[in-house]
Structure 1
Amino acid sequence: MTTTPTRTTALRGPVVLLFAVVTAVAAGTLYFGQPLVEEIRADLGVSEQAVSITIALTQIGYVVGLLLLVPLGDRVDRRKALGVLLGLLALAQVGVALAPSLVLLDIAVVLVGLTACVAQLTVATAANMAPEQTRGRVVGTVMSGLLLGILLARTVAGWIGEWGGWRAVYFVGAGLVLVTGAAALRVVPRSKPLVTGSYRALLASIGALVRDLPVLRVRAALGFALFGGFSVLWTPLGFLLSAEPYGYSTAVIGSFGLIGAGGAAAAMVAGRITDRFGPVVLTLVTTTVLVLAWAPLLLGGTHLWALIVGILVLDLAAMGLHITNQSEIYALDPAARSRLTAAYMATYFLGGVVGSAVAGLAWTHGGWGAVCAVGAGFGVLAVLLGLLAVRMRRRALSR
């Protein structure tokens, strides 16, 4: 495959903020269904297990989209790719809202997950438009939108669902995608393909990038560890909060996403630190905190203040490391940022799947203490990988 040079341009604050909003809306569509499972089950007359599978299909569609669609951002006009995917995402949500049966709902949610990968294409587009000296800040700001979308989608969906039913959530989501997407497309310039060659060669080149770029492999593994630990926290948290000594209602439990949203502020801070001091300091600090955060979280089994502190600290560290990882991989090959995103984010979400599965087992067999032990284990893995990443960078700079 052949590549062409990329051009960067200064991005004004309002434009970066708009990218963050589009990313938040697109990423949020993946999590709308989680607080609505009981309403969906009752409306369609299906079992809890069937609805759980429906929710999982959204995530499966997203991973497929990361691998098959996001790489196209390197081969086609990014503005056109964003427009098509945003339009299809809106249509898919309308399909969910109108689905009369579980089978049609399953098809629609897969399409939602598949096209919601436009969130990652938006991040890659912003990184491609930004100059090197401010890329960390730009990526950090846009990624703050993604984190907000993930954490607040459950809360917003619960509020809208209580007001208008579960189908109203997806109608509102479709409208938000169209409005924010149309605004973003007005400021995204047309771009020439960064690579040439067949689609098959494009996908094959992802494997070549993973094979040839050690930094990508290590940073992707770091993403696996950090999102695995993040998911270890959030997966069984509802079980903890619904039991004694808390005994909170579903509405209150959903509102804990607002606490986690405080970590979104770390994205912008982390981006600025990366631009100013480089990734070494942030990698060492954030990986260490990913372990230490589980101390207050363990106390949080019976003390609310400790639980809140632990949630904030873990989210801050996870987001800071995530931004550092993306800044590092985007610098590897400007002409391959969409494919680099695909490789990194697919591994990242795989960590979430593993973390969720292991957390469920830990809660069932050992309670909150076992959950915290598993989460700290993911943190230790991140520390080891972080040390390897720092060593590789220093070795590269010494050559």
Structure 2
Amino acid sequence: MEPAGLSSGRRLLLATLSAVAVATIYYAQPLLARIGADLAIPKQHVGWIVGIGQIGYLLGLIVLVPLGDLVNRRLLMAAHIAFTAIGAGLIALSDTTAGVLAGAGLAGLTSVVVQLAVAYTAAVSSPTERGRNIGAVTSGIVIGILAARTVAGTLADTAGWRTVYAASALVSLALACAVLALLPREARQNRDREYLRAVNSVVRLPLSDRTFRSRALLCFFLFASFGTLWSGIALPLSDEPWNLSATQIGLFGIAGLTGALGVARAGRWADRGLATPVTGWSLLLLMLSWIFTAQANHSLPLLVIGVVALDFAVQAVHVTSQQLITARRPEAASRTIGAYMVFYSLGSALGAVSTTWAYSTAGWALTSLLGAAYGAAALIVWAVSRHDARSAPPAGTATRDGSSSSDRTSSPRRRTPSGSVTS
């Protein structure tokens, strides 16, 4: 039976939930210098505060997200955001590096609630609105990632960096209550009850589906480039010649929002079958953006242009990729999104750790080259695999490893108006 759809109010709740949850991982980015000074962490190692959060996120994708295909996602989302609140509270109360890292790891682990939200959205959306709805919820994720910098910077300058995490904990608890009160249960049939099989499918999916594999590799390099910018941008802006405060650095998140909010239309483009060309043009834009962001030591206006372009490019590819892979197997949306986001987490962690190393080694010039190199790698992946989406089999009945039974067919395909592929 076709899903009934998703109301605007529930779509807004899911987007807000996603924004708040994912922001917890990224609050530290404009605060790295301040947290490092407070806890006496060397500059070349402070990126691990973000990196540990991403590693926790990675583990959550593997061990927690597959639960969404087994049990009630509404209850799971409420539980996850409640534990995210606990992680944020631990960071706010800790006076040691170990305590902050433990809180960051827990918050990252349960912030995978955003993937449950995307999977829930895909499951309850009608096929003609799936891309649009995923785009709306993904926009919430983007808002959380980028607005986190502005919120964190402003609160840190006003009341200290610990206040950022205390406030996050309170809002997260409120959202847990809202999820339980306002979201209905999904009407799902043929639910897989074997947890280990669901977890195993997260590992096997990249091996069994070449369309998924190419989109996952794109995701890895895409967010390595994204992480290089946003985990490292506070370093040159807080140094000479700018010496910006945490609030001023956080304002650059608004520039990122300008680009990212424009990406809501990308889901509609994907619904029309334009995912492949949108991906190619977006990756070219990503490469060009680093020409402008490389000028961070010399021109703030050029940096803003680069930030807007980079965020639009990254999120356009991200939304179209999610539309493609969930349309193929909506009955296994949680594990599909979970497997895909493993690559997001690995790429983000790589960007967070490598950008602080690059900056301490040779400044922002090397950092920019690194970010551009990740973008070039993504473009190469697209160029090699751009025909996969056109020749990919349609979504079929999930097999025991979570892949579609139609993944193994090889008959000619034609594209449908929704952007999926059929025989």
C-alpha contact (below 8 Å) 2:216/2:343 kept by paired residues: yes
Q: Which moved more, 1:342-351 or 1:197-206?
A: 197-206
Q: Residue 116 of structure 1 aligns with which residue? A: 111
Of residues 259, 272, 276, the one that matches 2:272 is: 276
8 Å CA contact 2:150–2:249 kept in 1: the answer is no
Note the C-alpha offset of 1:57: 2.8
One-letter code aligned to 1:261? L
Indicate if the aligned counterparts of 1:194 and 1:336 stay in contact, CA closer than 8 A: no
> Which residue of structure 2 lines up, in the alignment, with residue 60 of structure 1?
55
CA separation in 2, counterparts of 1:100 and 1:193? 48
- The counterpart of 2:40, out of the listed 47, 52, 58, is 47
1:83 correspondence with 2:78: yes
Contact 1:144 1:264 (C-alpha < 8 Å) held by counterparts: yes
| Partner-residue secondary structure (3-state), 1:186 | helix
Equivalent residues in 2 for 1:254-273 (5 A)? 254-273=250-269
Q: How far apart are 1:54 and its partner, in Å? A: 4.8
Retained in 1: the 8 A contact 2:78–2:175?
Answer: no
Q: Secondary structure at the match of 2:25?
A: coil
Distance (Å, rounded) in 1 between the aligned partners of 2:380 and 2:87: 41
Structure 2 residue runs without a partner (length 5+): 393-412, 415-422
Quick check: 92-101 or 212-221, which moved more?
92-101
CA–CA separation in structure 2 for the residues paired with 1:351 and 1:197:
31
Which residue does the alignment assign to 2:197? 201
Counterpart in the other structure of 2:9: 14
Are the aligned partners of 1:161 and 1:168 in contact in 2 as well (CA < 8 Å)?
Answer: yes
Report how far residue 59 of structure 1 moved.
2.4
Matched, 1:24 2:19: yes
The 8 Å contact of residues 97 and 171 in structure 1, kept in 2 or not, is answered as yes
Match of 1:372 in 2: 368
How many Å separate the matches in 2 of 1:387 and 1:93?
41
8 Å Cα contact 1:143/1:267 also seen in 2:
no
Q: Which residue of 2 aligns with 1:251?
A: 247
Q: Could you tell me which amino acid in structure 1 is paired with residue 322 of structure 2? A: Q
1:359 aligns with 2:355: yes
- How much has 1:221 moved relative to structure 2? 0.2
User: Which one of the candidate residues 381, 384, 390 is aligned to 1:385?
Assistant: 381
The aligned amino acid for 2:191 is: V
Q: SS of the residue aligned with 1:11?
A: coil
Aligned partner (choices 138, 145, 150) of residue 145 of structure 2: 150
Tell me the CA shift for residue 106 of structure 1: 3.8
CA contact (8 A) 2:81 2:175 kept: no
Q: Does 1:232 align with 2:225?
A: no
Structure 1 range deviating more: 29-38 or 79-88: 29-38
Shift of 1:147: 1.1
Tell me the equivalent position of 1:217.
213
CA distance, structure 1, for counterparts of residue 266 and residue 57 of structure 2: 26
Q: 1:193 to 1:66 in 2, by over 3 A?
A: farther
Distance 1:7 1:230 in 2: 36
Whether the aligned pair in 2 keeps the contact of 1:222 and 1:386 (CA below 8 Å) is yes
**Cα separation, 1, equivalents of 2:57 and 2:51:** 10
For 2:369, give the aligned amino acid.
A
Deviates more, 1:203-212 or 1:216-225: 203-212
Instruction: Quote the residue 1:137 is aligned against.
Output: 132
Indicate if the aligned counterparts of 1:227 and 1:351 stay in contact, CA closer than 8 A: yes
Give yes or no for contact 1:24–1:148 (8 Å, CA) kept in 2. yes
Q: 1:245 to 1:158 in 2, by over 3 A?
A: closer
- Please give the secondary structure, in 2, of the residue aligned with 1:196: coil
2:306 aligned partner: 310
CA spacing shift, 1:294–1:158, aligned 2, 3 Å: closer
Q: Distance between the aligned counterparts of 1:35 and 1:306, measured in 2?
A: 19
Q: Normalized per residue, which structure has more helix? A: 1
Could you tell me how far apart the structure 2 residues matched to 1:300 and 1:95 are? 34
CA offsets 1:141-179 (integer angstroms, 9 cap, x no match): 111111111112132123223333344323321221122
Deviation, 1:281, is: 2.3
For residue 15 of structure 1, report the CA deviation from its aligned partner.
Answer: 1.9
Given candidates 156, 165, 184, the residue that maps to 2:160 is 165
Distance 1:298 1:37 in 2: 20
Separation of aligned partners in 2, 1:33 and 1:292 = 27
Distance 1:383 1:96, change over 3 A: closer
Q: Deviations over 1:83-114 (max 9, x none)?
A: 22122222333343344655444433322221
Question: Amino acid of the residue matched to residue 77 of structure 1?
Answer: N
Query: May I ask how many residue pairs the two structures share in their alignment?
Result: 392
Q: Counterpart in 1 of 2:176? A: 181
Classify the secondary structure of the residue corresponding to 1:177: helix
Deviates more, 1:204-213 or 1:141-150: 204-213
Which residue type is aligned with residue 93 of structure 1? A
Distance 2:11 2:72 in 1: 19
What 5-or-longer segments of structure 1 have no aligned partner?
1-5
User: How far apart are the structure 1 equivalents of 2:89 and 2:176?
Assistant: 16
Deviation, 1:55, is 4.7
Aligned 8 A contact 1:279 1:324 in 2: yes
Matched-pair contact (CA < 8 Å) for 1:76–1:193: no
Residue identity (%):
35
Alignment of 1:313-324 (within 5 A): 313-324=309-320
Letter in structure 1 aligned against 2:205: L
TM-score when normalising by structure 2: 0.84
1:328 is aligned to 324
